[in-house]
């Protein structure tokens, strides 16, 4: 069976994701970033995350065994998402020094990583990083769904984890009293 690439892309697009910009340094030491919505948590121990980059991207080449940061964009950072997706905006990004790589200002969260492993992913490369430093805010994230940027809606009255056996406040994490 041959899958139509447009249908496959549309099917993948039915999964809502957050929007990240993966940042690193170029071969000349300049800050560089790429918008990536293929990001996932991998492990708590060791602390690992994964980003998936198309082989054709410059960032893919720069991340070869290099430290990087995953900038989880906040709801108000859509212009940054476009900027790093190849549609530059003025003014450009506000860069900050990070523990492992340059980071962007104003993120919902930032994960600074050192390289862990890289795997073949067909026309993409799967890059695992060991998270060495975190910066968190209370800002809502920018989302991507069905080819469009989105934001979170208001939480419903019955949307709390307490309805699940996996509720973090009920002992989901080791060391948290049930």
Residue where the block lists tokens 């549309």 = 10
The span from the CA of 105 to the CA of 107, in Å, is 6
The answer to whether the CB of 56 falls within 8 A of the CB of 120 is no
Q: What is the mean pLDDT of residues 94-106?
A: 97
Tell me: pLDDT of 162 over 80.
no
The answer to whether the CB of 101 falls within 8 A of the CB of 15 is no
pLDDT at 63: 87
Q: What is the mean pLDDT of residues 105-111?
A: 98
The predicted model scores a pTM of 0.85
pLDDT at 177: 54
pLDDT at 169: 66
- Range with the lowest mean pLDDT among 108-112, 131-135, 150-154, 174-178? 174-178
pLDDT at 12: 81
- CATH homologous superfamily of domain 9-154? Electron Transport, Fmn-binding Protein; Chain A (2.30.110.10)
Higher pLDDT, 82 or 177: 82
pLDDT tens digit string along 32-80? 999 998 999 999 999 999 999 989 888 888 888 899 999 999 999 999 9
Locate the domains of the chain by residue range.
9-154
């Amino acid at each position: 069976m041959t899958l139509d690439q447009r249908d496959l892309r549309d099917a993948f697009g039915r999964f809502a994701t957050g929007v990240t910009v993966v940042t690193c340094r170029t071969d000349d030491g300049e800050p560089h970033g790429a918008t990536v919505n293929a990001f996932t948590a991998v492990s708590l121990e060791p602390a690992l995350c994964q980003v998936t980059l198309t082989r054709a991207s410059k960032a893919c080449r720069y991340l070869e065994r290099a430290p990087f940061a995953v900038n989880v964009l906040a709801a108000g950072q859509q212009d940054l998402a476009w900027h790093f997706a190849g549609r530059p905006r003025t003014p450009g990004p506000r860069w900050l020094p990070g523990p492992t790589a340059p980071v962007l200002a104003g993120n919902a969260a930032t994960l600074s990583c050192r390289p862990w492993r890289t795997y073949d992913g067909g026309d993409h490369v799967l890059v695992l990083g060991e998270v060495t430093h975190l910066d968190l805010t209370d800002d809502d994230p920018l989302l991507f769904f069905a080819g469009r940027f989105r934001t979170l809606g208001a939480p419903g009255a019955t949307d709390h984890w307490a309805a699940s056996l996996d509720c973090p406040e009920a002992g989901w994490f080791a060391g948290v009293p049930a």
